[in-house]
Chains A and B, each alone.
Chain A
Amino acid sequence: MKTVINEQERRNFAREVESKLHDKLAKCYQCGKCSAGCPVNFEMDFTPNQIIKMTELGMADKVLDSKTIWLCVSCNTCSTRCPKGFEVAGIMDVLREIAVNRGIESKTEKEVQTFHEVFLDNVKSNGRIFELELVGKYKLKTKHLFRDMFLAPKMIEKGKLKIHSDRVSNINQIAKIFKDFE
């Protein structure tokens, strides 16, 4: 893959990420400890350390189009183990955010993107997760109505899937947080 580095674009992109991340991309050693421990690395098209390097080099298109940023499950194994204390999981969040802001739709991981949207909506309206509503909306949006249905009874049995919403009392404050970020 050939990449022509445009100094101004590179700088703009790297600075955008760095300001949102509150961290320096140059901190990364490129030692690969993040990639070595990533539990979903096998499904990724670029390893986490490659994402960091490419972001530093301003390869916005490739990074924002990558599967990696959507496949990251934010388990934070990478950030915890990073010898330089770099926010590896954090950069994935930042890149997802930039992708959404730029209206970039993931070609391969649409469902993940949808899940993130539904998840945030759910938090916005309830202040916490209301699983039944989350699952319902996700299924409607992705049209996979019957996938994983057999798990529902077990979850209800264990009290993991409540019938009624358990909305936080002071929902206005949640709204304010969302407003501040938007």
Chain B
Amino acid sequence: MARIGVFVCWCGSNIAGTVDVKKVAEEAAKIPGVVEAVDYKYMCSDPGQNTLRKMIKEKNLTGVVLAACSPHMHENTFRKAAVKEGLNPYFIEIANIREQVSWVHEDKEKATGKAIDLLKMMVEKVKKNKPIEDVRVPLTKKALVIGGGISGIQAALDIANGGVEVILVEKEPSIGGKMIQLDETFPTLDCSSCIMTPKMVEVYQHPNIKLYTYSELEEVSGYIGNFNVKIKKKARSIVEKDCTGCGDCWNICPMHKNVKSEFNVNLSERTAIYVPFPQAVPLIPVIDRSVCLHFKKGGKCQKCYDACGPKCINFDLQDEIIEEKVGAIVAATGYDLMENSLYGEYGYGKFKDVISGLQFERLLSASGPTEGVVKRPSDGKTPETIVFIQCVGSRDPEKGVPYCSKVCCMYTAKHAKLFAHKVHGSQSYVFYIDIRATSKGYEEFVRGTMENEGAIYLRGRVSKIYEDNGKLIVKGADTLSGNQVEIAADMVVLATGVIPKKGSDKMAQMLGISYDKYGFYTESHPKLRPAESSTAGIYLAGMAQGPRDIPESVVSGSAAASKILGLFSKSEYEVEGTIASVNKTTCVGCFYCKRVCAYSAISKEEIKDRNGNVLKVVANVNSGLCAGCGACVNACFSKSIDLKGYLDEQIFAEIKSLAV
């Protein structure tokens, strides 16, 4: 016999202002099975919870219905209170009479009537409730970090320092990402490689980190705590354990004039066997087989092999597939820059001295193609006047993207500042739409570029750039004074917008996480769960989520790491028990459920007799993956799937309670 307690919450005047709570309680007391119904000002308060606990104990309740705010708010609070009195937490039901009644209605009489109806439904439901146990999932305490940029490195180091094994996968031959390409970083002007390389070396030497460079993720399956991943380790053509990084091979490679260096953004050349930059981690070269003469000319050239002391070059090495089992994944795949060639009017590609911000970064860098001396790509002369154009691609819904790339205002101010430091008497002009300098020390940094370094900021966009007499004539506007301006520049630097890494959409599909229309991974909640992806066990970090600067990327890497360490601190992962379950006797194995499941939680299970003959194939719900959405329940033709906590008989009981 059901013994149900009803609690009607006033929520101050939030509910009581529109709903006659006394009447709701009186009506509730009349429902068969309700032992007692009370109303209270704030059920979520300590005294409110104590009333609940006291009644569960004294009246020996078998079920509780609260008429209160949305279960999103306090369902957990009340469940915890119930558990303390020995009641299964799933015997707590909430009729939402705040969001669904008092906040949306004005007529007190009608609102009260609706509140009573909602309450009745829940009373009938709770009578049919069955105890549900939360699902426990075993955890493989090992993490996978995808992407070896600053956020991936930070995540890997934090997890590893927490005592957990980490696998770091990087597509390029070296870790370091975009940050290692930068010269100095705003707003403190620390040299990027000075602060980055120690971290890279730490990753390489960390006993808890297994580093796979020149490797890509090939396949991901499984679920939180139990992911199976396949990593493709591309053939480096070098026996890594024997290589000393001496450089004899790349110094002798005859292909030194034909291949553009990716690291120097096409401003210099590299060889076919190469390390992307001198501080590469690991300092092991890679043979680019698409250009290497050995591979192109049928094995004729093997100069590097001959030069190699330890004979660690092996042209026959093949791609390897490595399988790993991990419990959590960090997606830190980073970003790309937009194509500058989108803007024909700026002449990128046509005029050699129109370059991108990242290229200018390489020109400033001491490890760059000009060893830190600012020289024009066209004739090697030092420019005296540089025009910087911001928002190239960003904030341009027509040709580019509507969002702000966030870092360009700051790096342009930094470029202008460093240019003034390097070339005395030089002049920078910066065309901008708005200056966004919102973090600590940023506004002061930009003002410093204007006031102390003499960079001239013009509010307006540039319409066209053309060449005239060895100068780049920049036609722009200064909307503040209302003038069209023309500036003769020696060089133009475009602050190119940020887009997700090429292939990030495919990566998201492989991982089963959601991404926005641009390809940035979406967080589980934009404010309260910014480190989590939409899929349990997969966390996000860095620019893969959207434009952000270095400090924010580091923070997000650490956030993902702390989530993973938190997850791994328990022996098992607990999931709410309200998941789908299959009646294997009636299941006919049509697998229509499998087709509608958005979480890939349904698999095929063979039912065998004792001789091992397959009798029938039925659906099986993976409790780690099931999110309890109920799509399969609707899809099942033979009515063999039920969602725990939302059984058909419960729903019918709710509906029947409304029949007059």
Closest approach, in angstroms, between the C-beta of A36 and any C-beta of chain B? 14
Closest approach, in angstroms, between the C-beta of A45 and any C-beta of chain B? 11
Most buried by B among A11, A26, A59: A26
Contacts of A27 in B (CB 8 A): 451
For chain B, residues 415 to 458, give those with C-beta under 8 angstroms from any C-beta of chain A. Answer: 427, 429, 450-451, 454-456, 458
> Once bound together, how far apart are the Cα atoms of A53 and B429, in whole Å?
13
Closest approach, in angstroms, between the C-beta of B450 and any C-beta of chain A? 4
Q: Mark A1-14, 1 if CB is under 8 A from B, else 0.
A: 11111010001000
Contacts of B487 in A (CB 8 A): 5, 7
> Once bound together, how far apart are the Cα atoms of A24 and B454, in whole Å?
9
Q: Mark B478-506, 1 if CB is under 8 A from A, else 0.
A: 10111111111000000000000000000
A26 contacts B483, CB within 8 Å? Answer: no
Residue A34 is within 8 A (CB to CB) of chain B in the complex: no
A30 contacts B459, CB within 8 Å? Answer: yes
Contacts of A7 in B (CB 8 A): 384-385, 427, 487-488
A1 contacts B451, CB within 8 Å? Answer: no
Cross-interface CB contact of A53 among B454, B480, B484, B488, cutoff 8 Å: B480
> Once bound together, how far apart are the Cα atoms of A30 and B460, in whole Å?
13
Cross-interface CB contact of A54 among B385, B455, B483, cutoff 8 Å: B483
Contacts of A30 in B (CB 8 A): 459, 480
Tally of chain B residues near chain A (CB < 8 A): 21
Q: B473's closest neighbor in chain A, by CB? A: A4
For chain B, residues 484 to 530, give those with C-beta under 8 angstroms from any C-beta of chain A. Answer: 484-488
> Once bound together, how far apart are the Cα atoms of A27 and B485, in whole Å?
21
Cross-interface CB contact of B454 among A2, A3, A26, cutoff 8 Å: A26
Closest approach, in angstroms, between the C-beta of A68 and any C-beta of chain B? 12
> Once bound together, how far apart are the Cα atoms of A30 and B450, in whole Å?
12
Most buried by B among A1, A5, A50, A59: A5
Are A56 and B456 also in contact (CB < 8 A) when A7-B427, A50-B481 are?
A: yes
A1 contacts B483, CB within 8 Å? Answer: yes
Contacts of A4 in B (CB 8 A): 485-486, 488
Contacts of B486 in A (CB 8 A): 2-5
Q: Mark A150-163, 1 if CB is under 8 A from B, else 0.
A: 00000000000000
Closest approach, in angstroms, between the C-beta of B152 and any C-beta of chain A? 39
Contacts of A56 in B (CB 8 A): 456
B450 contacts A57, CB within 8 Å? Answer: no
B481 contacts A57, CB within 8 Å? Answer: yes
Closest approach, in angstroms, between the C-beta of B285 and any C-beta of chain A? 46
> Once bound together, how far apart are the Cα atoms of A97 and B486, in whole Å?
28
Contacts of A26 in B (CB 8 A): 450-451, 454-456
Closest approach, in angstroms, between the C-beta of B238 and any C-beta of chain A? 51
Closest approach, in angstroms, between the C-beta of B304 and any C-beta of chain A? 50
Contacts of A50 in B (CB 8 A): 480-482
> Once bound together, how far apart are the Cα atoms of A158 and B190, in whole Å?
69
> Once bound together, how far apart are the Cα atoms of A50 and B385, in whole Å?
24
Contacts of B480 in A (CB 8 A): 30, 49-50, 53
Closest approach, in angstroms, between the C-beta of B390 and any C-beta of chain A? 16
A57 contacts B456, CB within 8 Å? Answer: yes
Residue A115 is within 8 A (CB to CB) of chain B in the complex: no
Closest approach, in angstroms, between the C-beta of B481 and any C-beta of chain A? 4
Most buried by A among B456, B459, B487, B488: B456
Closest approach, in angstroms, between the C-beta of A3 and any C-beta of chain B? 5
> Once bound together, how far apart are the Cα atoms of A53 and B482, in whole Å?
10
B482 contacts A1, CB within 8 Å? Answer: yes
> Once bound together, how far apart are the Cα atoms of A53 and B478, in whole Å?
9
> Once bound together, how far apart are the Cα atoms of A24 and B453, in whole Å?
11
> Once bound together, how far apart are the Cα atoms of A49 and B455, in whole Å?
18
> Once bound together, how far apart are the Cα atoms of A27 and B482, in whole Å?
20
Contacts of A2 in B (CB 8 A): 483-486
A59 contacts B450, CB within 8 Å? Answer: no
> Once bound together, how far apart are the Cα atoms of A30 and B36, in whole Å?
69
Q: A62's closest neighbor in chain B, by CB? A: B483
> Once bound together, how far apart are the Cα atoms of A26 and B384, in whole Å?
20
A46 contacts B450, CB within 8 Å? Answer: no
Contacts of B385 in A (CB 8 A): 7
B484 contacts A57, CB within 8 Å? Answer: no
B481 contacts A46, CB within 8 Å? Answer: yes
B451 contacts A59, CB within 8 Å? Answer: no
Q: B454's closest neighbor in chain A, by CB? A: A26
For chain A, residues 9 to 28, give those with C-beta under 8 angstroms from any C-beta of chain B. Answer: 11, 24, 26-27
Contacts of A24 in B (CB 8 A): 451
Closest approach, in angstroms, between the C-beta of B479 and any C-beta of chain A? 10
A53 contacts B481, CB within 8 Å? Answer: yes
Are A54 and B481 also in contact (CB < 8 A) when A3-B486, A30-B459 are?
A: yes
Contacts of B427 in A (CB 8 A): 7, 11
Contacts of A49 in B (CB 8 A): 480
Contacts of B482 in A (CB 8 A): 1, 50
B456 contacts A1, CB within 8 Å? Answer: no
Closest approach, in angstroms, between the C-beta of B459 and any C-beta of chain A? 7
Q: Mark B346-386, 1 if CB is under 8 A from A, else 0.
A: 00000000000000000000000000000000000000110
Contacts of B456 in A (CB 8 A): 26, 56-57
Closest approach, in angstroms, between the C-beta of B431 and any C-beta of chain A? 12
Contacts of B458 in A (CB 8 A): 57
For chain A, residues 34 to 55, give those with C-beta under 8 angstroms from any C-beta of chain B. Answer: 46, 49-50, 53-54
Contacts of B478 in A (CB 8 A): 53, 57
> Once bound together, how far apart are the Cα atoms of A59 and B487, in whole Å?
13
For chain A, residues 50 to 79, give those with C-beta under 8 angstroms from any C-beta of chain B. Answer: 50, 53-54, 56-57, 59
A5 contacts B485, CB within 8 Å? Answer: yes
B488 contacts A57, CB within 8 Å? Answer: no
> Once bound together, how far apart are the Cα atoms of A26 and B453, in whole Å?
10
Contacts of A54 in B (CB 8 A): 481, 483
Closest approach, in angstroms, between the C-beta of A63 and any C-beta of chain B? 10
Q: Mark B237-263, 1 if CB is under 8 A from A, else 0.
A: 000000000000000000000000000
Most buried by A among B451, B478, B481, B483: B481
Closest approach, in angstroms, between the C-beta of B455 and any C-beta of chain A? 8
Contacts of A59 in B (CB 8 A): 481, 483
> Once bound together, how far apart are the Cα atoms of A53 and B460, in whole Å?
13
Can you spell out 6 A-B residue pairs with CB atoms less than 8 angstroms apart? A1-B483, A7-B488, A30-B459, A30-B480, A57-B485, A59-B481
List 6 additional A-B contacts (Cβ < 8 Å) besides A4-B488, A50-B482, A53-B480: A5-B486, A26-B450, A26-B456, A46-B481, A50-B480, A56-B456
5 A-B pairs with least C-beta separation = A53-B481, A4-B486, A26-B450, A50-B481, A2-B484
